[in-house]
Amino acid sequence: MSPHNYRAPVAEEDRTKAGLAVHLVAARTGARPERITSRGRLDPLSARARWLAMYLSHIAFGWTLERVGHVFGMNRTTVSAACRWVEDERDGRAVDELLDQLEACISGLYGAPTWEMPR
């Protein structure tokens, strides 16, 4: 196996949480979720939306940059650069308010009691 094909194992719960971050960001930015999570070069809207989703996963779920990287199939350095970009963008009111709202949404969902679906 080539080192370029290596992907760390990721828990299904982490995939679900990252998917929530991706879909929330997509809903508010107009980016398509399948583009945000696709491999290779992205258009600017999809790339920035992915950076927002990675940052949101880092902040809202308390994940390390390495864990975010594993879930999104990126290395820690790439995730770190994305998070730095988002932190810089948070100086603007619109991005800061957007992220506050998305973090509150995630906190509301994951702060609620869980419910076991009957089988």
- Asked, for residue 2, whether it belongs to a domain, the answer is no
Cα angle for residues 57, 102, 16 (degrees, 5° grid): 45
How many domains is the chain partitioned into structurally? 1
Using an 8 Å Cβ cutoff, are 38 and 70 in contact?
no
CATH number at residue 102: 1.10.1750.10
pTM: 0.88
Q: Is residue 5 part of a domain?
A: no
In angstroms, rounded to a whole number, what is the distance separating the alpha carbons of residues 75 and 97? 28
Predicted local confidence at residue 4, as pLDDT: 53
Residues sharing a CB contact under 8 Å with residue 42, sequence separation 6 or more, in sequence order: 35, 36, 50
Of 99 and 119, the one with more pLDDT: 99
First to last CA, the chain: 40
Q: Answer yes or no: is 69 within a domain.
A: yes
Domain that holds residue 43: 11-109
> Are 75 and 95 within 8 A, CB to CB?
no
* 6 within some domain: no
> What proportions of the chain, in percent to the nearest 5, are helix, strand and coil?
70, 0, 30
Q: Per-residue confidence at 6, pLDDT binned at 50, 70, 90? A: low
- What are the tokens at 98? 């957007």
Q: 71 lies in a domain?
A: yes
Q: Residue 2: what pLDDT? A: 41
